Amino acid sequence: MFRQGVPVTINKPVLVLAALLTCGGCTLTPPVEDPVLLKLDELERRLQNIERIVDNQSLVQLTQQVSSLQRRSDELQGRAEILEYDASDTAQRQRQLYADLDERIRGLESSLREFSTSSAQNGGTLSPAHGSSDRDNYQAAFELLKEERYDMAAAAFGQFLVTFPDSDLADNAQYWLAESYYAAKQFERALAGFQIVITDYPRSRKVPDALLKIGYCNYSLERWGEARATLSRVQTDYPETTAARLAGQYLKRMDAEGV
């Protein structure tokens, strides 16, 4: 500073004091009461509250999901137990059915043995079980055929025809007698048996099938001409039948084989 051309030196503490005195009317805001900081603190608290709520909601949702999964697990376990019980019950029923079927088969075999035992008293032929009907005997013979006991089935059907010649099942019995021979690869005997169906029971529904099997027998005996003629007759005389369709398939087979 200059006073009347003479420089005046002022100490720094004096300048600081002067500055403070000059600003004596100014109010200094303590940092802790700064509105900006207060606002930030408020926002921080609100954010923390929100985070706690979200965390609590997430925990609730997880708890609900765990409970739901537990219920689902219990349901599946219950179903598994039911299925296990059903499987055990089914197995038990199957064993019972098997036992019943085995008992029936044993009964049929016993009946057939009774037929054989009494054959000497009836001109060398089998006789039916006491009190049995034609249908009982027919069913017994048919069961033997299904079990592939062809010799016994043939004997049973043969006895049926002797004992019940006028039965409504006689034509069927004759057909299955021949079928027993055919299944046993006794083609000559089968051929003769199927021919009896055609000649003795011309109105039988088994005639188309018997004629078809005659063609099969001739084929197995390598009588190609007879086989082809018989199969063609099935197609001509009994069109629109299963026998005719099978005959056509066999003829195609023969064509492919060149016989």
Residue 20 has pLDDT above 60, yes or no: no
Task: Report H helices in 118-149.
Answer: 134-146
Share of the chain above pLDDT 70, in %: 59
CB 127 within 8 A of CB 163: yes
pLDDT band at 123 (very low <50, low <70, confident <90, very high): very low
Range with top average pLDDT, 18-27, 90-99, 189-198: 189-198
Mean pLDDT score, 158-174? 96
Residue 101 has a pLDDT of 63
Give SS3 for 37.
helix
CB 202 within 8 A of CB 218: no
DSSP state of 32: G
Residue 195 has a pLDDT of 98
Residue 221 has a pLDDT of 96
DSSP state of 28: P
Helix (H) or strand (E) holding 193: helix 187-200
Which is more confidently placed, 124 or 95? 95
DSSP, residue by residue, 57-123: HHHHHHHHHHHHHHHHHHHHHHHHHHHHHHHHHHHHHHHHHHHHHHHHHHHHHHHHHHHHHTGGGGT
Round to whole Å and give the CA distance between 23 and 40. 30
Round to whole Å and give the CA distance between 180 and 124. 21
pLDDT band at 39 (very low <50, low <70, confident <90, very high): confident
For the CA atoms of 193, 232, 224, 181, what is the dihedral angle to 10 degrees? -20
pLDDT band at 48 (very low <50, low <70, confident <90, very high): confident
Mean pLDDT score, 229-235? 97
Which is more confidently placed, 142 or 55? 142
pLDDT band at 14 (very low <50, low <70, confident <90, very high): very low
Bridge partner list, 3: 6
Which is more confidently placed, 43 or 100? 43
Residue 205 has a pLDDT of 95
